[in-house]
Structure 1
């Protein structure tokens, strides 16, 4: 029976790896060593300790000699800058560096909120400053209230532009945002039961919601500040808002929302509307299904629906949509660690294909890649390493655009059945995924061209992290224990060992080579072998899973 009962025992290596991979982008041996032997509850408490971003804001090191610098706080009009496409990429680089600078659940939840309230930065979301504000809003509420996010995101400048609600006026309605608010962001459609009529809402409800959301406008100056978040927000032109009452269908119990006509009271109308949508049990279930797919597994059976999803949704409602208590319940549960049954066909550990973001982050964190410092080497980090290599080369070739999914619904891995996370891995994405480790080892962009200004030192990594590196069998099994969700068998160990020792030679040939390196500090021989081994192990099927 699927169980949300807490797992109270101390976690071993296997379960600790599972928890850390699912909850943080900064997954490393140091973190494993720190958390092994702790209970899930204690680890999660540590992962949710409030933190401060390493970088307060993004920096543009170009143009050379007269950089735009901290353009998001410059006071200049957001649309007055050039090279906005690059600047949007630099905003993504700011977010990723912060995610890599701490071992925290915050950034995983922030990205989860992005998948729920998608705004694609490169597809009509306005100036880069708007997107910076959007990501800050998600970070601010990562441990907060989903219902509050639904209200705040409605007034977010990037969202207002992206889904056209800034064009929605009482005399010229635009239904785009209202439709997606139901269909993608909150309650979802449910089964279609007639033309223009879904289980959870109807076309009439979209029209009424459009009236509620009329008159909302982008603040192009970013001078209007939300007093609760401290971030720029849009505003309401009350003359363009429909002040009449709005009556919804039976899907929402024929609720009537009282129309308002002043800027302050119109926000009360928004609050009433959001409360109405979030009062529906299906809204809570929609979010809990998304949480399950994001943290646990992309598919599930009726037992999981009844014993995991439904109780979590009830907890979400009971906590008035505070996200953290529900996430803690899920991540601490027997079910999350697959200890609630003996069915070996539904394993949760190792059941998710890593996203390109997870793959990149895990390689850089685990192998201690010396990412250029954006404070002291801004041009190198922002422009050469992140924008040209990671943003413009790796991510597209790996099958995604960071913070810019091609569909309004978001990344197919989180919504498109039947493949879900299997969408991350295909013949079209292999080049990006497989050449990432190669590029880092050689310090060159092997997907296209150019220096990436950092090198993954495989020899130094092994020396500092693998105590038994002179024994090829122990070296490989200890590496596998760090890299893979599950231990590998003898056949796989022997396969990987062929990268260290030619088949016709005994193991002591590697032992001699390694000991010679330790005594002479000449890494020429072992580097060639370790580069090949780690490339093979990272590109193996086992590493694609978490």
Structure 2
């Protein structure tokens, strides 16, 4: 039986490695060893530590950010979009052993946005800031804010949702994909959790909001811009449906009517329209199925895609109870899940425990995990911002991620990236013959590095100083130890002895002995030539990155 009971004792290396590989974008050896000495409560305290709000991205053309909106001297929107992408991924790379950016990405994977549809990079930045504001916080409140977020209004057509010509697109996806899920179809226009009538009534609640591309309508709770419903010259939300909306028995026959105190004549005010959305959120999030739906998404993101009947009963339902009992504050359910025996494969039923090393890394995880583990130095964002955004990311990291199958902030549909939602393949969607080939090419590409147009190195995985650092490899003269420590910290779990010996003798040493290696290393350190030791180390590291094990988390 699956168990949410917290593990006891210190984490140790294996547990710490598993936790950090799932909760961050790839740990360093030092981070793993630091967490290994912690108990799980302290580890989660560390991962959930609030961080300062990051500075917004700068435009290399001006050397300053472009908020609240771009001016005539700024780069075009396509360039600003690339800078936003680079800025966000750089936060993932540099935040370290903290869960915040992982959760920001989770929220983006769950409630996505597509720049090719929205065509406004500034709105993507503000949505990203909204997700960061609520990364450990109140999911119900976040969802309410998303309903009037400028990027979302544009993305799923709710800016076209008018009382005279309702548009149901966002209302449909809001229920089906982002909150409660439809469940099984049980009749014509009737699903387990809602009906087509509920979609129509939800769309009426959401009428009348438009994008504000000046970004000067500010939400008082977050301090971030949102869309607006009020007419420019009056307080009236004249395009909002001010009638009574009546939901079906799926939602207890709830009726939502405008508050008479928030009307101006026959029209609702913007405050009144927002109040109706808030009451609809109360209705949706009062349903048991909403909490379960969200917890299933969290489970598949952090643990495994397969949810058996036992896991539904003993993991999902208790997690959902925790989420609801704590008013949809995400930190409580994150702590419960990531502290549990089940997460660490330590349930009573060991025959079904196979979570460690069971998730195929996303391109983000593979690429950023490599950069973080090998401590690859990137251009300074203050002195070399153009190199950082246009070369390290534009010609490097973003290109690697795209070539491996993730078009970042351009998911193929409103459900998001298929590996996070598509039944039954889920994370196996990251693998195709072409994408697997580009994964295997990636290791040697990063070993070769990237240069800018002036032929100046932008980044490179330089194996010699990395191996020579005892915080990475305890004793660089010991060939067996190099292989063992690389495998221990790069792979999610141990491999058979015969496979380890293959990497040592066939890949690394080839026709040499461990004693030969020690002599070659000491000769190099004494001022001798580096070609042989560099070539051997690059061969080993490159081949380890090409293994099936390295594709897994």
Compute the TM-score of the two structures, normalised by the length of structure 2. 0.93
- Kept in 2, the 8 Å contact 1:443–1:453? The answer is yes
What is the CA distance between 1:303 and its match in structure 2? Answer: 0.9
- Kept in 2, the 8 Å contact 1:184–1:409? The answer is yes
Structure 1: 5+ residue stretches without partners: 62-66
- Distance of 2:26 and 2:500 partners within structure 1: 27
- Distance of 1:451 and 1:485 partners within structure 2: 35
Counterpart of 1:33 in 2: which secondary structure? helix
- Report the equivalent of 2:459: 454
Matched, 1:333 2:340: yes
- Report the equivalent of 1:312: 319
- Distance of 1:433 and 1:415 partners within structure 2: 22
- Kept in 2, the 8 Å contact 1:513–1:526? The answer is yes
- Report the equivalent of 1:64: none
Counterpart of 1:341 in 2: which secondary structure? coil
- Report the equivalent of 2:391: 384
- Report the equivalent of 1:483: 490
- Kept in 1, the 8 Å contact 2:345–2:356? The answer is yes
Check 1:158–1:68 CA distance in 2 against 1; reply closer, same or farther (3 A cut).
farther
What is the CA distance between 1:258 and its match in structure 2? Answer: 1.5
Structure 2: 5+ residue stretches without partners: 231-236, 260-267
What is the CA distance between 1:46 and its match in structure 2? Answer: 0.9
1:499 aligned to 507, 516, 534, which one?
Answer: 507
- Kept in 1, the 8 Å contact 2:303–2:355? The answer is yes
What is the CA distance between 1:42 and its match in structure 2? Answer: 0.5
- Distance of 2:391 and 2:444 partners within structure 1: 17
- Report the equivalent of 2:211: 218
- Distance of 2:342 and 2:42 partners within structure 1: 17
- Report the equivalent of 1:530: 537
Check 1:296–1:380 CA distance in 2 against 1; reply closer, same or farther (3 A cut).
same
2:110 aligned to 107, 116, 119, which one?
Answer: 116
- Kept in 2, the 8 Å contact 1:86–1:387? The answer is no
- Report the equivalent of 2:247: 248
Matched, 1:418 2:424: yes
- Kept in 2, the 8 Å contact 1:245–1:257? The answer is yes
- Report the equivalent of 2:99: 105
Matched, 1:282 2:289: yes
What are the Cα deviations for residues 8-28 of structure 1, in whole angstroms up to 9, with x where unaligned?
A: 211111111000111112511
1:269 aligned to 276, 297, 302, which one?
Answer: 276
Segment of structure 1 superposing worse, 534-543 or 33-42: 33-42
2:412 aligned to 403, 406, 412, which one?
Answer: 406
- Distance of 1:70 and 1:35 partners within structure 2: 37
- Distance of 1:218 and 1:208 partners within structure 2: 22
Counterpart of 1:20 in 2: which secondary structure? helix
What are the Cα deviations for residues 245-300 of structure 1, in whole angstroms up to 9, with x where unaligned?
A: 10011111111111351111211100000110111111000000001000111102
Q: How many residues align?
A: 532
Matched, 1:132 2:125: yes
Counterpart of 2:186 in 1: which secondary structure? strand
- Distance of 1:9 and 1:524 partners within structure 2: 46
Matched, 1:154 2:144: no
Check 1:50–1:525 CA distance in 2 against 1; reply closer, same or farther (3 A cut).
same
Find runs of 4+ consecutive structure 1 residues off by over 6 angstroms.
none
Alignment of 1:168-179 (within 5 A): 168-179=161-172
What are the Cα deviations for residues 146-176 of structure 1, in whole angstroms up to 9, with x where unaligned?
A: 1011101111111111111111110011111
Check 1:388–1:507 CA distance in 2 against 1; reply closer, same or farther (3 A cut).
closer
- Kept in 1, the 8 Å contact 2:77–2:121? The answer is yes
What is the CA distance between 1:71 and its match in structure 2? Answer: 4.3
Counterpart of 1:429 in 2: which secondary structure? helix
Segment of structure 1 superposing worse, 43-52 or 277-286: 43-52
- Kept in 2, the 8 Å contact 1:126–1:158? The answer is no
- Distance of 2:311 and 2:221 partners within structure 1: 37
What is the CA distance between 1:126 and its match in structure 2? Answer: 3.4
- Distance of 1:139 and 1:510 partners within structure 2: 48
Counterpart of 1:123 in 2: which secondary structure? helix
- Distance of 1:181 and 1:544 partners within structure 2: 33
Alignment of 1:355-394 (within 5 A): 355-391=362-398, 393-394=399-400
What are the Cα deviations for residues 57-83 of structure 1, in whole angstroms up to 9, with x where unaligned?
A: 11222xxxxx14434326546x99653
